[in-house]
Structure 1
């Protein structure tokens, strides 16, 4: 990575992306961050050796890529701070902000090349997936820059922006949902007499191994199930119980709840110009 990248906001997802980039060989000196209190930026600097800026304007000035990674309610004020900041030639603004459409960013920063991105926390281990959606009037080169930024961190996909709230619920929240399932699986093992440590290791490796199988060439969930579940066997009995207890329905409801919450908080162009913190 040869571009200078500025992170506006240094929370969990920014830390995951920065950690993945540095692990992939990005020069820490090419990355800088800024956070509201300064604590997050200092923590990134101490952990990964990246720069810590004192202000939004200092972080963004001259950057090739500006990554917006703040909370939705902080976004309007941050966008106002970015107005008029001299960015690098052909600079791209990559927004990781949940519930914030690209039109909201371009309304506050007219003429900006904006790409919305939803990475999940597995990018920290370079095994994540990032979904991109280009904003209105965004040149193809900007999308290419965003793709190049996230490519070392795992798979990169593109979807229309209307589907990004669903992406956030399925992919962004997905690691937490899977971890919650792993926790429940481990507790079921403890209830059968396993030690908590042994059950946790078995559940974690079940998730890890299944992930590797599912991301293999031509793999599908049905194929993995068929590979494990013998007719009339214990796996089949367990799967039947999960279906009877409503696991598929519960997951649909969970994703639906996340999407509805995100849509309810959606930041539009008009709000980006006028909303207070």
Structure 2
């Protein structure tokens, strides 16, 4: 299988590394295409056995799968200025937020499109990707795509493409929400007189431990909260303040704003 990655940014590179790590593709069958000529040397160092090209250098592209990994805001420009024709036999996999299958099909004049939404933990092989496909793509092709996506973590097939904007808001943007909350906790620790590195250690280990408790417990989130929040105790005082300031509602509104922005990107 020959794979071309159009847009060798963080996500395109992390996908490529995962494919190579799990030997799903040979280095010589990987072609990374960057719009930034100055990045070529650095990418060559990371992928010594693969083909690295800048956008304007390609006249023909020999690939079974083309991964479109450019920023969604740049997609229309890239599609209009594509210097090569996509083969009818190629499959296109988009990892762009917000851009619908129909828009990709029209812009690239190509029918066979799979749309997916990964998140940044794919960099560690711990991501999750929601994906859906255009009509006409075979079951075997979808299995092949899922195998590639699973090399970056986990993947979930969605029958309804409309759900992908919600996935974008929930898991695509999701890591930033956790970083935001963790940052607030660390800063609270510093304000209480705990040295910053020590505050980070307490918060990060607490987050890690809480994740494993959620993953290994049959209890609901409400029950797990009650296990920590004893009547009249310190946790109850914090949760009361969160509720008084509508923290949960604010977080939900933020996530819905992210979904709305994903829909706008397709406009």
TM-score range, shorter chain: 0.7 to 0.9
Q: Residues of 1 paired with 2:134 and 2:107: CA distance?
A: 13
SS of the counterpart of 2:98?
A: coil
SS of the counterpart of 1:53?
A: strand
Query: Is 1:20 the counterpart of 2:21 in the alignment?
Result: no
Partner of 2:194: 194
Q: Residues of 2 paired with 1:206 and 1:165: CA distance?
A: 30
Q: Deviations over 1:44-68 (max 9, x none)?
A: 3323444312337849722222110
Q: Deviations over 1:210-259 (max 9, x none)?
A: 33333447575335434544444333332232222211111111112112
Partner of 1:68: 68
Q: Residues of 1 paired with 2:184 and 2:59: CA distance?
A: 42
Q: Deviations over 1:154-203 (max 9, x none)?
A: 11112221111111111111011111111111001111111011111222
SS of the counterpart of 1:85?
A: coil
Displaced runs of 4+ in structure 1, greater than 6 A? Answer: none
Partner of 1:271: none
Change in Cα spacing, 1:59 to 1:68, as seen in structure 2 (3 Å) is farther
Tell me the C-alpha RMSD between the 2 structures.
2.7
State whether residues 61 and 85 of structure 2, in contact with CA within 8 Å, keep that contact through their aligned partners in structure 1.
Answer: no
Change in Cα spacing, 1:157 to 1:79, as seen in structure 2 (3 Å) is same
Q: Residues of 2 paired with 1:45 and 1:215: CA distance?
A: 40
Query: Any gaps of 5 or more consecutive residues in structure 2?
Result: none
Change in Cα spacing, 1:211 to 1:18, as seen in structure 2 (3 Å) is farther
Partner of 2:162: 162
- If asked which structure has higher relative contact order (CA below 8 Å, sep 6+), I would say 1
TM-score (norm 2): 0.85
Superposition pairs for residues 102-251 of structure 1, below 5 Å? 102-159=101-158, 160-216=160-216, 220-251=220-251
Aligned length: 263
Change in Cα spacing, 1:174 to 1:60, as seen in structure 2 (3 Å) is farther
SS of the counterpart of 2:92?
A: strand
Larger CA deviation: 229-238 vs 192-201? 229-238
State whether residues 6 and 59 of structure 1, in contact with CA within 8 Å, keep that contact through their aligned partners in structure 2.
Answer: no
Query: Any gaps of 5 or more consecutive residues in structure 1?
Result: 268-277
Change in Cα spacing, 1:148 to 1:241, as seen in structure 2 (3 Å) is same
Q: Residues of 1 paired with 2:119 and 2:18: CA distance?
A: 11
